[in-house]
Amino acid sequence: MDEQRIRISVGLGACGIAAGARKTLASIEEGIASRGLDVELGISGCMGMCYREPLVEIARPGKPPEVYMELSADRVPRFLDEVVAGGGEIEEWIGRAEDRDCPDDGFFSKQKRIVLRNAGRINPERLEDYLAVGGYRALGKVLAEMSREQVIEEIKASGLRGRGGAGFPTGLKWGFAAKAAGDVKYIICNADEGDPGAFMDRSVLESDPHAVLEGMAIAGYAVGSSQGYIYCRAEYPIAIRRLGIAIAQAAEAGWLGDRIQGSEFSFHIKIKEGAGAFVCGEETALMASIEGRRGMPRLRPPFPANEGLWKKPTNINNVETLANVPWIIVNGAAAYAALGTESSKGTKVFALAGKVNRGGLVEVPMGITIREIVEDIGGGIKGGKKFKAAQMGGPSGGCIPASLADTPIDYESLNKTGAIMGSGGMVVIDDSTCMVDVARFFLDFTQKESCGKCTFCRVGTKRMLEILERITAGEGKQGDIELLEELAATIKRGSLCGLGQTAPNPVLTTIRYFRDEYEAHIKDKVCPAKACRALITYVIIEENCNGCGVCKRACPVEAISGEKKELHVIDPDKCTRCGLCMDRCRQDAIRVV
C-alpha cells in the first residue's frame, strides 16, 4: 500500500452490491484509465451505513480519509473530476470524515467497534491489509507466550458470552471441551444465520474473514483441536468466496495448516455449505448436517463438548463470538470486561432494520438502551411516524413495546421482557404495523422451518398459525387468545430444541403488550393499524377527489367507477385492497377506514 498515492476503496459488501456498487467500481476503473489518474483502487466490506450505499472512501496524502455516500455510477465522473483530479470536495456527498462534523455522525456516535473494527477499513480479500492492522498478532501471542489454560482463563476473565443467542459463557464452554477425553476434537463456527432481518454474521464474514479464522485457531489451540469447520448457509455466496480466499491466504502464509509459524500447533479449516434450513442453526442439527445426515436436533446430554461431531468433543461458537477473541487476547480481558454491564460484558452487533431512518450494521456497548439505538443511532422513525415496538431475537425473540424503550441491552433485562438477545436482529416497528400480523409472520416462518421431529413443534405451531390467520382475516372468535396462550405453553414445554421452545415468543409478547389489538380484531372486526386487508375498506373522500381518473386506471380489478372530473367511487365487494389506488392518487383523496 503506497501512502503517497491517492487510495480509493469501494464498499463491496452485499448491501453495497445490491445498491449498485459494482457499477460504481467499474465506472471508477474506467474513469481512472481514461483520465490517466495515478490512483490505487481497491475494495472493502460493509462499513455499516447500509442506508447510504454505495459508499466510497478516498484517502489522499496528508489528508484524513473521507467517505462519500450514495456514490452511484452516474455520480462518478463528477467525483473523479472535482475530488480526485481537482483536489476539491463535494461537501453534500461526504458521509463521514475525521476532521469535520457530518450529517450522519450520529450513526457512529454511540458505537464501540470491536467485532466490526476492520469492517469497511480493509480489503477482505488481502491478507496484507489484515496484517497491517494487527491481524494474527493475537494468534502469534498465544503460540509464543500462553498456555492453553491461560488462554481459556483470559476468555473467562473477559466475561465474553456466546453471541449466537443463548449467552453461555465462552470461556466456560471452551473449558468443557478442553477437559473432554479424546485425541480428536473439533471447532465449529456457526455461520448459519437464518433470522429474518439479520445480517450480522454475513457482514462480518464478507468484511473481515481473517478475524474469524484467527478466533477459530485460538479456540482450537485452547481446547486441543486441530480441525475446524465453518458452517455457512449457501445463500451467502460472497461470504463463502471470501472465506475460501482467506483460508488459502492464511495457509500459504503459515497462519493455518501444519506447525503454524513454526510451533507445535496445527489447525486446518474447512467450509461446509448449508442448504438454508433454519433448524440447522441449532448445534446438534448443524453437526448432523456436517456429517451428511438430515439436519434434525437430538436430545442432550450428551453435550457437544463431550460427544459432538462424529461423536468427538466439539466446541461450537458463532461468527461474532469468535471475531471478539483476537481483540481480547491483544488488548486484555480487563479492557473487554470494562465495557458493558455486570453480567453482560463487551459489545453487541445488531442488524438495525425496519421503519428506521438509518438502517444498517451497528455495534454498541452492552447496557445501551433500545431507545438510544433507535433514536440516536438509527435517527428515529421514517416519515415522522410513531415508534411502536422493536422486534428482537428473530423468530425466537419477541416484540418489546415503545413503553419499554429504556430497557438496557443485556441478556437478563431483555429476557425479563419476554424477548431474547438472539443473534442480533433488531426490526423497528412503527404505528402503521399490525402486531397480530407480526406474530403471524414470524410463526409462519418457524412453522415452515420446523424439521417435523417433534409433534409439539410440528403440529402445535400449525394450530397456532391457523388461529392467527383466522384472526387477521376477520374470523377470530372468543377464546382464541386464551387458546394461543395454552398452545404456546405446551409447545415450549414439549419441544425438543430451541426452535420449538422459543417459537411462541413473538405471539406471547404481542399478546402481553398489545392484547387490545387482538381483542379489536376478534370483537370489533377492526385492525387498529389498518394493515390487515380483510379488516379495512378503501374510500374516496369527496372534497379531495377531482375526478382525474388516475385511481380508476390503476385498479387491476376495475373496482373504481366514475366519470371524468366527477367523484369516483370504490366498490368494496370488488376491491382486493391492494392499495394501488392510494399509491397513485395525487390528490390525497383515498383513505383506509
> Which residue ranges form the domains of the chain, and what is each CATH number?
6-104 (3.40.30.10), 127-337 (3.40.50.11540), 347-430 (3.10.20.600), 435-524 (1.20.1440.230), 537-592 (3.30.70.20)
Percent of the residues in the chain that have a pLDDT greater than 70, as a whole number: 99
Predicted confidence at residue 3, as pLDDT, reads: 67
19-53 confidence digits (pLDDT tens): 999 999 999 999 999 999 999 999 999 999 999 99
Strand 314-318 to strand 360-365: parallel, antiparallel, or no bridges (unpaired)? unpaired
Please provide residue 542's backbone torsions phi and psi, each rounded to the nearest 5 degrees: -60, -45
- Residue 113 — very low, low, confident or very high, per pLDDT cuts 50/70/90? very high
Burial of 80 (0-12, 13-18, 19+ CB in 10 A): buried
What whole-number distance in Å separates Cα of residue 216 and Cα of residue 260? 13
pLDDT band per the 50, 70, 90 thresholds, residue 103? confident
Looking at residue 164, its pLDDT comes to 84
pLDDT band at 428 (very low <50, low <70, confident <90, very high): very high
Given a cut of 90, whether residue 546 has pLDDT beyond it is yes
The mean pLDDT of 418-436, rounded to a whole number, is 92
* DSSP 8-state code for residue 369: B
Instruction: State the CB neighbour count (10 A cutoff) for residue 155.
Output: 27
Q: Please answer whether residues 131 and 246 qualify as being in contact, where contact means their C-beta atoms are separated by less than 8 angstroms.
A: no
Q: What is the helix (H) or strand (E) element at residue 9, kind and residue range?
A: strand 6-11
Query: So what's the pLDDT on residue 473?
Result: 95
| Band of pLDDT at residue 2, cut at 50, 70 and 90 | low
- Over residues 265-271, mean pLDDT: 98
pTM above 0.85, yes or no: yes
The 10s digit of each residue's pLDDT in 133-188 is: 999 999 999 999 999 999 999 999 999 999 987 889 999 999 999 999 999 999 99
pLDDT of residue 401: 97
Helix, strand or coil, per DSSP, at residue 176? helix
> Could you tell me which residues are beta bridge partners of residue 349?
363
Residue 433 banded pLDDT, cuts 50, 70, 90? very high
Residue 332 and residue 97 in contact, taking contact as beta carbons nearer than 8 Å: no
